[in-house]
Homo-oligomer: A and B are copies of this chain.
Amino acid sequence: VSARFETVTIIGVGLLGSSLGLAMKARSLAGTIRGVGHRQESLDKALAVGAVDEVAFDAREASREAALVVICTPAALVPPMLDEIRPVCAADTIVTDVASTKAAIANHARETWPAPLRVVASHPMAGSEKFGPEYGRPDFYEGTVTIVEPLTTHAPDAHAAVCALWQAVGSTLVEIPPPTHDALLARTSHIPHVVAACLSVLADRLGDVRAVAGKGFSDVTRVAAGRPELWRDICLTNDHAIAEGLGELIAGLDTVRRHISDGAGDELAQFFDAAARARARVVRE
């Protein structure tokens, strides 16, 4: 399957969108790349770094007859963007996205797009506290993992092309159904982000703690430096899994708090031991 597309439209030229443009150009995967954004400044930067060849404000016009459309907006904007571009997509246009939540997007595509489906939801797990086209890098996706929904009601060629695209820019594919994706990511990414944010607020309440906040605190809270709108959208589009997991987390923290208040040393040692074992199962190191 070829990962080369004559006309590519990238909607949203932030870190992920501009990196994708740079990565496709560096590997000759695209003829012309059109970048769509709503701020002139971002579009200028995307052009300046060479992530796109043309820019536009109007996603619908820019998507007309494109071979590939990649929606690189925050999660909540993906379904309305699909509605926006659907009338102008050609019969063979392939559409994908890069949002961090997948079930709402995949469901919306299934409900609104013609069959066989040429919208293939994907989630390249690449990111940074930095954002904006100026941080884009052609090697941004190298060594990352991209989660793509498994082939179901899709046109097989569209599904294969989206898979080929991510592999061509250096990412390793994992196929996971959207609802499972959202349940897994709630606990490995979204809830840790909420927690990092709450911990930052908690430490800051004591006043100037800068002198004693070491590498551990910096590591634990790093993701909290991310973009507020992005994380708002993630919370709003994966609400059930995040709220449920937060409930379990709160119960777990409350148990530890009780052990501490009770001076229950054995229970605390067992808890920390079990947690270290759990982490060793979850994290590849």
Please indicate the chain B residues that have their CB under 8 angstroms from the CB of A85 in the complex. Answer: none
- Contact string against B for A residues 191-205, beta-carbon threshold 8 Å, 1 for contact and 0 otherwise: 111111111111111
Instruction: Name the one of B195, B211, B280 contacting A220, with C-beta atoms under 8 angstroms.
Output: B195
Q: Are B192 and A249 in contact (CB under 8 A)?
A: no
The segment from A3-11, A15-23, A180-188 that touches chain B is: A180-188
- Contact string against B for A residues 268-280, beta-carbon threshold 8 Å, 1 for contact and 0 otherwise: 1111111110111
Please indicate the chain B residues that have their CB under 8 angstroms from the CB of A77 in the complex. Answer: none
Q: Are A232 and B269 in contact (CB under 8 A)?
A: yes
Given known contacts A202-B245, A236-B265, A253-B250, is B217 in contact with A219 (CB within 8 Å)?
A: no
Given known contacts A188-B213, A210-B284, A214-B145, is B232 in contact with A265 (CB within 8 Å)?
A: yes
For chain A, the bracket of interface size reads 35 or more
The segment from A34-42, A43-51, A221-229 that touches chain B is: A221-229
Q: Are B278 and A229 in contact (CB under 8 A)?
A: no
CB-nearest residue of chain B to A283: B218
Given known contacts A219-B222, A246-B257, A280-B225, is B174 in contact with A188 (CB within 8 Å)?
A: no
20 interchain pairs, CB-CB under 8 A: A147-B212, A187-B203, A188-B203, A189-B212, A189-B216, A192-B216, A195-B195, A195-B253, A200-B275, A200-B279, A203-B282, A210-B282, A226-B276, A228-B272, A228-B273, A231-B272, A235-B256, A235-B268, A243-B257, A250-B254
Taking A196-B275, A197-B256, A235-B260 as known contacts, 4 extra A-B pairs with beta carbons closer than 8 A to each other, sorted by chain A number, are A125-B212, A200-B278, A205-B248, A220-B223
On A, residues with C-beta under 8 Å from B are 125, 127, 145, 147, 174, 176, 181, 183-185, 187-189, 191-206, 208-214, 216-226, 228-229, 231-232, 235-236, 239, 242-243, 245-250, 252-254, 256-257, 259-261, 263, 265, 268-276, 278-285
